[in-house]
Chains A and B, each alone.
Chain A
Amino acid sequence: MNAYLHALPALLGRGLLATVTISVASMLIALVGGFGIGLLRALRNPLVDAAAIAYVEILRGIPLLVLMFFVCFGLPQLGIGIDAAPAAIVALGLWGAANGAEIVRGALVSIPRGQSEAGVALGLGRIAVLRSIVLPQALRRTVAPFMSLFTAIVESSSLAALIGVKEILETVRVDIENDATLWTPLLLTALALYFAINFPVSLASQRLERKLG
């Protein structure tokens, strides 16, 4: 019990802070990248589309762990050195951006065609139709999916432990290596922390989904 209490400050302090920092930073990349790619696809340029589809399919087709290993250990071999924590953020952010792009695209195509037709019939240009008619309606439909993407990012931030970032799971792992008897309280605490972050977001997302859908 004493050893557990001794281990807690690091877990609730640096560990939790690292998990939250990585998650929030990755989420920002996912938002910016997701909207960037999703809106580019609305331009219907074949070249841009092909590049965007390739990006999304590749990033969503490989395990995040492999991507993270590649960014952290593979890129230095190609002359791009990067520390573990930034590597985790880059990998999670790129992965989140691919998922975000699908969220934005899905929301855009869910707006009935009649809406943009009505805009065009009023003499608005394509950009104006997108900006003042389609996007405002699509925006609210992205909120719930982006919230559940955030919970996925928080869960996936635990993968950073495997490249040595001292977030929640890695802090716990090091403590267990020092004292194996602590695995139960420490892992349960870790699970509780992740749950405490994710559950409220997940509930709000489900509630919003039900309200809109």
Chain B
Amino acid sequence: MLAAARLDFSIVREAAPALAHGALVTAEITAAGLAGSLLVGIGGAALRTSKSRAARTAAAAFTEFFRNTPPLVHIFFAYFALPAIGINVPGIVAATTALILYQGAIAIEIIRAGLEAVPAGQLEAADALGLGGLDRFRSVVVPQALRISLPALGNNLISLFKNTSLVSAIGVLDITGVAQDVIAQRLSSAELYLTIGAFYLLSVFAFSAVLRFVESRLARYAT
């Protein structure tokens, strides 16, 4: 109670428009990150399960490097590295690129595991029906692999969403960055952290609810 008395949420009301804009930036980075990491995941998983040993090794090395090093360091690296190789992009692009590579590396492993979990009998049945490689992949393997991968891909999306807060470290004004900005000008900080904490928490609950709904819809043909 004593602690609560020291909180004054009027500061949050004043900062609301800026925070709303920050939330939009967070949403944009999440959307771009999701699309990018899925592309990296699908492409990487294709390499990871290909016949070429070199491709498999390269994809495995990519995954192991990114998932064993901190995304925050990747963001700093991209922030310095992209301009250094002549790509002059805003910080938000560098940071999003770094997040795409990190979450994409995890997506590679998730999708690979999904592909390998499709039972051998399914491939045999598709072969026996004369389905060619592409039809077999598209109609039989991919839908089942996606269903198997979906819960883990959902967790990866939630992890991506939370990791977007790291972009504030290089000055991007996502919702965490905006909060930091406001805090730098005013003395109070607890109110703002509680507010953006609630924003992240409620968003994660919403993601989880949607994912659970999709999974339950797909469960009707679970075996």
In the complex they form, whether A and B have CB atoms below 8 Å apart is answered with: yes
Interface size band for B: 35 or more
A190 x B73 contact (CB < 8 A):
yes
Contact flags B64-82 to A (C-beta < 8 A → 1, else 0) = 1101111111001100110
8 Å CB contacts to B: which residues of A127-160?
151, 154-159
B64 x A199 contact (CB < 8 A):
yes
A61 x B189 contact (CB < 8 A):
no
Q: Which of A5-13, A74-82, A115-123 contacts B (4 or more CB under 8 A)?
A: A74-82
Q: Hey, which chain B residues are within 8 Å of A184, CB to CB?
A: 80-81, 84
Q: A169-B70, A187-B76 are in contact. Are A78 and B190 (CB under 8 A)?
A: yes
Q: Hey, which chain A residues are within 8 Å of B200, CB to CB?
A: 61-63, 66
Q: A61-B204, A61-B205 are in contact. Are A74 and B190 (CB under 8 A)?
A: yes
Q: Residue B188 at the A interface, CB < 8 A?
A: yes
CB-contact partner of B193 in A70, A169, A202, under 8 A: A70
Q: Which residue of B lies closest to A200 (CB)?
A: B68
B193 x A187 contact (CB < 8 A):
no
Q: Hey, which chain B residues are within 8 Å of A77, CB to CB?
A: 6, 188-190
Q: Residue B156 at the A interface, CB < 8 A?
A: no
8 Å CB contacts to B: which residues of A164-213?
169, 173, 176, 183-184, 187, 190-191, 194-195, 198-199, 202
A62 x B162 contact (CB < 8 A):
yes
Give the CA-CA distance A69 to B205 in the complex, in Å: 22
Q: Hey, which chain B residues are within 8 Å of A51, CB to CB?
A: none
CB distance from A162 to the nearest CB of B (A): 6
Q: A66-B193, A70-B193 are in contact. Are A156 and B70 (CB under 8 A)?
A: yes
Q: Hey, which chain B residues are within 8 Å of A39, CB to CB?
A: none
Q: Which residue of A lies closest to B80 (CB)?
A: A183
Total interface residues on A, CB under 8 Å, equals 40
Give the CA-CA distance A92 to B84 in the complex, in Å: 33
CB-contact partner of A191 in B77, B188, B189, B197, under 8 A: B77
Q: Other CB < 8 Å A-B pairs besides A64-B162, A65-B166, A191-B69, 15 of them?
A: A60-B204, A62-B200, A66-B197, A70-B193, A70-B197, A73-B190, A73-B193, A75-B190, A78-B6, A78-B190, A79-B2, A79-B3, A162-B169, A187-B77, A194-B68
* 29 chain-A/chain-B pairs, Cβ below 8 angstroms: A60-B204, A62-B162, A62-B200, A62-B204, A63-B162, A65-B166, A65-B168, A66-B165, A69-B180, A73-B189, A75-B190, A78-B7, A79-B3, A155-B68, A155-B69, A157-B70, A158-B72, A159-B166, A161-B72, A169-B70, A169-B76, A187-B73, A191-B77, A194-B68, A195-B69, A198-B68, A198-B69, A202-B64, A202-B68
A: which residues have CB within 8 A of B? Answer: 57-58, 60-67, 69-70, 73-75, 77-79, 151, 154-159, 161-162, 169, 173, 176, 183-184, 187, 190-191, 194-195, 198-199, 202
B: which residues have CB within 8 A of A? Answer: 2-3, 6-7, 64-65, 67-73, 76-77, 80-81, 84, 162-166, 168-169, 176, 180, 183, 188-190, 193-194, 196-197, 200-201, 204-205
